[in-house]
Structure 1
Amino acid sequence: MDYASGENELKNWIIAETGFNPDYLGKCEAMMALGNGYLGLRSATEESYVGEVRNLFVAGTFNRFDEYEVTELPNGADITRMDIRINGKRFSLENGKIRKYKRMLNLKTGELTRHIRWVSPRGEELEFVFRRFVSLNNLHCIGMRAEITAMNQDMEVSIESGINGQLTNTGVQHFHEGEKRIFEKKYLQLIQTTTQSKIDFVVNTVHQYRVDGKEVDGEPKMVIDRRKVVLIQDIKLNRGQKLVVEKISNVYTSRDKEYDHGDYSLEVLRKDALFNLKSECKKGYEGLLQESIKKWEEVWEKYSICIDSLQDFDQLAIRFAHYHLVIMTPAHDHRMGIGAKGLSGEGYKGHSFWDTEIYILPFFTYTDPQIARKLLEYRYHTIDGARKKAKENGYEGAMYPWESAWKDDGEVTPVWGAVDIVTGKATKIWSGFIEKHISSDIAFALWQYYMITGDEDFMEKYGYEMLFEIAKFWASCLEWSEEKKEYHINDVIGPDEYKEHVNNNAFTNYMAHWTISKAIDYYHVVKEKKPEVYGRLNVLLGLDEAYRHWISKVDKIYLPQPRQEDLVIPQDDTYLQKEIIDLTEYKNQKHVGSIFRDYNLEQVNNIQVSKQADTLILFYLLENLFTKDIKRANWNYYEPKTLHDSSLSLSIHSILACDLDDLELAYSLFERAARIDLGPNMKSSDHGIHAAALGGIWQGVVCGFGGVRMLNGELRIDPKLPKEWSRLEFPIEWRGNRLHIVVTKDKEKQRLYITRMSNHDNAQAITLEVRGRKYTFKERLMVNL
């Protein structure tokens, strides 16, 4: 991998692969994935190799293979494969000699290119240039272009290309056979329907062949096979001639918002899709690409972060994070969430976790609140499933699924996972049963959104109802301890998933207490100031009775306190009594999860070792509740015992290290977080990129080094640049105002500049806190730090 290929205006915009290795296909397939939030296309090569993973996902199109498996995003038909034959022999980089190879993803334009100079085993020398993009302008459109030049002799080139529906999700076929059709010997169409959810996919593609700019004569051979429709085009290339193949494709589904209604007609869908293809292909690859690039220009203008660093990689890393955050997020539709692997791989089956609310959503809340609102509306649309889960488990209110898919699916966490090295059996996944903190994570995220945006309409339509239902759930979870005269939360998993079936996980208890406390506060708000909202929710939720329960219980919830001897807050009732072992080997591991080569989960459960930040996350989300001494003491205790086996962990630790003024450590952790996907581990991203880690990188820059926080509804900016950085620029949204933040450092002296970009004639002054002092400004503010 090469991260320094970009020059001049493309400096720190290019992710490059400089050598071909068939053993490491997954790295670039995922890292260089293309998408637009509606569809995601994994970047497998045009030619096929053993071990490749070809994925095309459309957001929200979940299907359950059978009653024994959970729902997942189905892998749609492949339109990227091109079987190329040179004088009858298949082109493959595993044969012959590679004289030149470079594959590049341009983050700025969203275009993937691959440049190859290759000599076949028989001596034919060719130059290939492959290009590809997924349009940000037309969400359905995929463009491909291949240039093949005969370098040293005349040759016969044959290209087989079309639509291949023979793919599966690691062996699971989610589609019926489907209908295949070729129109006008040119336009290819495949209709697929999912087996259980009955979603129609319509995939179309068209090719154009030119040699030295002249359209190729001769009709292609048409082939329809099982789940497959292709064209085979034979072309004679003289020495020095260049063949250009353009392939434009599109994908539509019956779940698309404009077709998901009672009057839906497959015939209308397929006609619309084919009409769109015929219209778009007239623009050609370059025309469609330029339309997409214009949309990317708008993206970079809105989200751009500039870092002046001694390490160019830092600038590339935040752009990489921005790129994937854009292409993974279904900004077009509030019925859908973000998968833990985005749309770049089959990992976690496309399901949404707490990753969205705690790690990804802050990016959108602070930079694009309209998208943040849609993501929260998705959680509102799943509230009936959360109510159902609560009822099935004997609780009230809304118990949100640990893993969510389509809005009506409810809990979709698989029950069985990796091997238990002691028993040889599959390990049971308890998260879907007892990892309850996600409900509070959603409550916190909607409150954070409300505080930053002031969006009363959202709260009245969705937010209050969600908050009250989650508070009802927590109140019904509490178990009274007669011995201690307090309420406990028992048999849970906290963020540290290496500790199962624990009582009084500190993170869970504090967040449950916070949720109920906030519900009490907002009960008074709606009752006193929003009578219509109060009346509706009181009828729907039994709000008055729920309030009485909250008031009677909230002050009696057990909140683990710092121990007198060392200020350490017990992660749960038994963590501090568990065995302590030497974790050096696992802290220095090259591959996450190496501890499971020596222990099974039951054994790990009895060791003082953590998968990821747990108690420490409280010091970020609820930081005002704890003193710096308490934060430092718990850092010193828990961080050495944390293996960072979750990609969510490093960014949180980096931010906390900033808060503790250990900027050298904070920067080291930030670098490690940025290299989860971009680093040297060539197998790290095989199942897809790490979506939450990418949101964490943004938070590390803006909330860590940039010092941006919302505390009790007020804005605080307390930047702390690492020694490697001399300047940091980023935008944030605050209560409808676009703010441009610049932090500079010169000889260890730092300055903060804030400019209000959105000017309104009657705009109110903005008040914020910087280094413990309050400042008020209307247009600009400069503070010496």
Structure 2
Amino acid sequence: MNTNPTHRFPPDPWCLREQALDPATHFLNETLFALGNGYIGVRGTAEEGWSGPAGTSLDGTYLNGFYESEPIHYPETAHGLAKTNQFMLNVPNAKGIGIWLEDERFDPLQGRLEAYERRLDVRTGVLERSLRWTSPQGRTIALSSRRLVSFAEKHLLALEVEVTPLNFAGTVRIVAALDGAVKNLEAGDDPRVGSSVSGASLELVGTEQAGHFSALVQRTRNSGFMLVSATLTEATGEPECRRGNLRLEQVYTLQAVQDQPLRVTKYAAYHTSRDYPENELMARSRAVLEAARADGFAALAARQEAYLADFWGHADVEIIGDDLLQQGMRFNEFHLLQSVGRDGKTNISAKGVTGEGYEGHYFWDTEIYIFPFFLYNKPEIARALLEYRWAGLESARRRARQMSHPKGALYPWRTIAGEECSAYFPAGTAQYHINADVAYSIRQYLEATGDDDWMRAHGAEIVMETARIWTAIGSYDRHGRFVINEVTGPDEYTALVNNNYYTNAMAQAHLEFAAALSDRLAREFPDDHARVVRSMELDPAEPDEWRRAAGRMFLPYDAELRIHEQDDSFLSKKRWDFAGTPKENYPLLLNYHPMVIYRHQVCKQADVVLALLLLSSRFDAADKQRDFDYYEAVTTHDSSLSSCIFSIIAAEVGYADKAYDYFMETARLDLDDTHGNTCHGVHTAAMAGTWMGVAYGFGGMRTDGGTLRFAPTLPKRWQGYRFRIHLRGCLLQVSVTETGTIYSLLQGDALEFTHHGRGVALTAAQPQHEEAA
């Protein structure tokens, strides 16, 4: 991990500015300047493409939830191993616009680039570029471009390019291309990157091209989905249409006048049979493109800005006194919004829609890291994420049967469509805590929204069906304790252990919640209870069994060290030789066989420390401090999910400097590329962890146990900070400065909570309360 990053961008609190074009940073900047809307993701490669050295670009366009599948080949297979992988596809590039000045192609890496700036303003959601370029033969142009991926229309990408000849007149050709000759990044030695597939995964079914319109119709080889990629271009005159192998072009030949701009506007739409019947895809594509052309780019940009104004009005976190941090904060929130599916059929992948790291898979990152951000800022998106889990319940039931569980549901560790895609079960399928993580997010949602309708229709059945797995894999030992053996907790450097503390503690909370939900459903909504009982074939004795297992759950604790043991064997292992491990040997997973790591007392990420956050009210302050001290010393933070959790607990136990340092590792992790792999996509969990670091860490916000609590502190390097949360139909603003904390009820009738243990009640009549520092 690079702990001394160089800040490459000016510290603008709302904008990311690239002021030089450098092949050495191009691959990374393609990720940082990517645009998305939760469905379409477009990496930040310019419209004219990239002619730089090999390995400095991956010109990707992705559709959240659209995937190819392939068999997983094991040299030695076993029953229950994942059989099929799913991976997000690089789909046709619809943004291509080539520019020819007489016989010279515009290429900023040739000739002389005299001025250059690229800007991503997170208030507008538009990527802008302006430059001045002189060709090798001396022709000089000014070029500007704007690009957006529409938040209002999920299938739409729009862009506009303007070229002005500055010292010549003559023929300028504009070549608008739809290029299907794309492929995915092939996997190398890093297991986090790329797919094992080679070659194209999309087969051409047909094309349509006439006038300003082009469309490619393709089908995935194995998963069988159809894709229509279509473009509609606006430029002066009628184009010459050209067709090549998987490439359609509209060529506009224009007579340029010196100092007179030439403009081309291009709209692109993507539709797949995952969303609509195949026979509707082309008509839907045409309709979206015609509507976009009727609106025009300016109207689309205005609609984009209005959408974001509403988002920032609810979700903005203000940091007073640190523009670099403010930039990182808003950049992270913007990318979360760009990455998250909101249709109930898609989720949010570990890399969003910005790159191919982790193959576009969804993990527990959603429920434990990302879900809280949306729950308290855009609850409707949080609900859509839960609807995705509801849509995958049948697949989870099938997975449970594959794992020899006669009843219940087991959610996959990594997936796109609901099937388990993890080929390495010790750090995949063995992470049974995924079930408890899903149940935890449902509990958070119900407590924050009071949405009993969703609980009755979906939530209760998910919670109860997944709870069954704990009584299936757990058992009572000779001391009468309920134990859970042979699982892996959050720490992926410690696999296949007995009684992982996080897993057992979260399973306990899950079982308690499932039993309580069953009781409440039977008491308050008997018809819904009867329906769920029928659907699950629920034995009336099962809720009591859940309560019994929860009550006797074994939670490992070392009386001598007075810490919670990560698992039965963790403390008996030899400590990793941190002093003798060269910096270049981190992350460990890239330099040591898993068995070498598993034999040692070393953590990749927060494990017990994460339980201290999620189940905060079950621990006292002394426990938290001792646990933090012990596990900090053996944790590498090789996972981007780790530093934010350590920051939050450090803030709670009074380690202000550590809290701030860990927070800063998270806040600009991608902007400063501190993990060295942002070129393959942003780290969405760490981005959400930044929001958690402010609200849960410095704001001291906790909601476990059904009560809202705050314990704000102010980092000494800040003048103040402000964030907002949605809760039970209310919008609360928390403002912390050197003089104290102000709570403001911006929407809603009434809200009660505590401030450092003291009760606070806000109402519409008295919407503000101030506490002195």
TM-score (norm 2): 0.91
Q: 2:741 aligns with which of 724, 735, 752?
A: 752
Are the counterparts in 2 of residues 180 and 224 from structure 1 also a CA contact under 8 Å? no
Corresponding position of 2:691 = 698
With 194-203 and 723-732 compared, the bigger mean Cα shift is at 194-203
Q: Say yes or no: does 1:467 pair with 2:486.
A: no
Corresponding position of 1:329 = 340
Corresponding position of 2:682 = 689
Corresponding position of 1:616 = 609
Q: SS at the partner of 2:86?
A: coil
CA distance in 1, matches of 2:490, 2:693: 19
Are the counterparts in 2 of residues 88 and 158 from structure 1 also a CA contact under 8 Å? no
Q: Cα distance 1:730–1:115, how it changes in 2: closer, same or farther (>3 A)?
A: same
CA distance in 2, matches of 1:681, 1:390: 38
Corresponding position of 1:273 = 285
* Runs of at least 5 residues in structure 2 that lack an aligned partner in the other structure: 1-5, 74-83, 186-197
Give the C-alpha shift of residue 551 in structure 1. Answer: 3.9
Q: SS at the partner of 2:541?
A: helix
Q: Say yes or no: does 1:197 pair with 2:223.
A: yes
Corresponding position of 1:423 = none
Are the counterparts in 1 of residues 233 and 264 from structure 2 also a CA contact under 8 Å? yes
1:605-651 CA-partner distances (Å, limit 9, x unpaired): 11221110011111101112212111111111111211111111111
CA distance in 2, matches of 1:599, 1:679: 26
Corresponding position of 2:301 = 289
CA distance in 2, matches of 1:19, 1:143: 25
1:297-331 CA-partner distances (Å, limit 9, x unpaired): 2222221222212x211211221122111111122
Q: SS at the partner of 2:696?
A: helix
Give the C-alpha shift of residue 5 in structure 1. Answer: 4.5
Give the C-alpha shift of residue 371 in structure 1. Answer: 1.5
Give the C-alpha shift of residue 4 in structure 1. Answer: 6.0
Q: Which amino acid aligns with 1:106?
A: D
With 446-455 and 85-94 compared, the bigger mean Cα shift is at 85-94
Corresponding position of 1:625 = 618
Give the C-alpha shift of residue 445 in structure 1. Answer: 0.9
Give the C-alpha shift of residue 34 in structure 1. Answer: 0.8
Are the counterparts in 2 of residues 48 and 81 from structure 1 also a CA contact under 8 Å? no
Give the C-alpha shift of residue 581 in structure 1. Answer: 3.6
Give the C-alpha shift of residue 598 in structure 1. Answer: 4.6
| Counterpart mapping for 1:323-722 below 5 A | 323-331=334-342, 333-395=343-405, 396-406=407-417, 409-413=418-422, 415=423, 428=424, 430-482=426-478, 484-541=479-536, 542-561=538-557, 563-584=558-579, 589=583, 593-596=586-589, 598-679=591-672, 681=674, 683-722=676-715
1:235-272 CA-partner distances (Å, limit 9, x unpaired): 3434434322221222222333xx3xxxx352x43123
Corresponding position of 1:55 = 60
Q: 1:179 aligns with which of 196, 199, 206?
A: 206
Q: SS at the partner of 2:664?
A: helix
Corresponding position of 2:771 = 783
CA distance in 1, matches of 2:485, 2:544: 23
Q: SS at the partner of 2:601?
A: coil
CA distance in 2, matches of 1:527, 1:355: 32
Give the C-alpha shift of residue 721 in structure 1. Answer: 1.3
Q: Say yes or no: does 1:771 pair with 2:756.
A: yes
Q: Cα distance 1:162–1:53, how it changes in 2: closer, same or farther (>3 A)?
A: same
CA distance in 2, matches of 1:622, 1:682: 29
CA distance in 1, matches of 2:255, 2:404: 71
* Runs of at least 5 residues in structure 1 that lack an aligned partner in the other structure: 210-214, 416-427
CA distance in 2, matches of 1:653, 1:595: 19
CA distance in 2, matches of 1:466, 1:365: 18
Q: SS at the partner of 1:397?
A: coil
Q: Say yes or no: does 1:223 pair with 2:216.
A: no
Corresponding position of 1:253 = 272
Give the C-alpha shift of residue 497 in structure 1. Answer: 0.3
Q: Which runs of 4+ in 1 moved over 4 A?
A: 1-6, 65-69, 680-683
Give the C-alpha shift of residue 680 in structure 1. Answer: 5.0
CA distance in 2, matches of 1:108, 1:252: 27
Indicate the RMSD between aligned Cα atoms, in angstroms. 2.2
1:3-42 CA-partner distances (Å, limit 9, x unpaired): 7647xxxx51111222222233221211111111121111
Q: Say yes or no: does 1:135 pair with 2:150.
A: yes
Q: SS at the partner of 1:641?
A: coil
CA distance in 2, matches of 1:388, 1:308: 51
Corresponding position of 1:31 = 32
Q: Say yes or no: does 1:312 pair with 2:323.
A: yes
Are the counterparts in 2 of residues 252 and 273 from structure 1 also a CA contact under 8 Å? yes
Are the counterparts in 2 of residues 2 and 15 from structure 1 also a CA contact under 8 Å? no
1:715-741 CA-partner distances (Å, limit 9, x unpaired): 111111101222222211121112122
Give the C-alpha shift of residue 467 in structure 1. Answer: 1.3
Corresponding position of 2:717 = 724
Q: Which amino acid aligns with 2:717?
A: E
Q: Cα distance 1:230–1:773, how it changes in 2: closer, same or farther (>3 A)?
A: same
CA distance in 2, matches of 1:291, 1:13: 18
Q: Cα distance 1:585–1:341, how it changes in 2: closer, same or farther (>3 A)?
A: farther
Q: Cα distance 1:133–1:230, how it changes in 2: closer, same or farther (>3 A)?
A: same
Question: How many residues are matched?
Answer: 737
Q: Cα distance 1:235–1:585, how it changes in 2: closer, same or farther (>3 A)?
A: farther
Corresponding position of 1:146 = 161
Give the C-alpha shift of residue 597 in structure 1. Answer: 5.6
Corresponding position of 1:98 = 113
Corresponding position of 1:89 = 104
Q: SS at the partner of 1:720?
A: coil
Q: SS at the partner of 2:202?
A: coil
CA distance in 1, matches of 2:415, 2:624: 33
1:406-436 CA-partner distances (Å, limit 9, x unpaired): 2xx42122x1xxxxxxxxxxxx453332111
CA distance in 2, matches of 1:767, 1:280: 46
CA distance in 1, matches of 2:768, 2:240: 66
Are the counterparts in 1 of residues 614 and 704 from structure 2 also a CA contact under 8 Å? no
CA distance in 2, matches of 1:769, 1:279: 50
Give the C-alpha shift of residue 275 in structure 1. Answer: 2.9
Q: SS at the partner of 2:703?
A: strand
Q: Cα distance 1:457–1:500, how it changes in 2: closer, same or farther (>3 A)?
A: same
CA distance in 1, matches of 2:769, 2:580: 49
- Aligned-residue identity in percent: 30
Corresponding position of 1:418 = none
Q: SS at the partner of 1:775?
A: strand
Give the C-alpha shift of residue 543 in structure 1. Answer: 4.2
Q: Which amino acid aligns with 2:45?
A: A
Q: SS at the partner of 1:434?
A: coil
CA distance in 1, matches of 2:338, 2:320: 26
Are the counterparts in 2 of residues 3 and 15 from structure 1 also a CA contact under 8 Å? no
Corresponding position of 2:90 = 75
Give the C-alpha shift of residue 656 in structure 1. Answer: 0.7
Q: Which amino acid aligns with 1:58?
A: L
CA distance in 1, matches of 2:698, 2:9: 24
CA distance in 2, matches of 1:730, 1:481: 47
Q: SS at the partner of 1:274?
A: helix
CA distance in 2, matches of 1:459, 1:58: 30
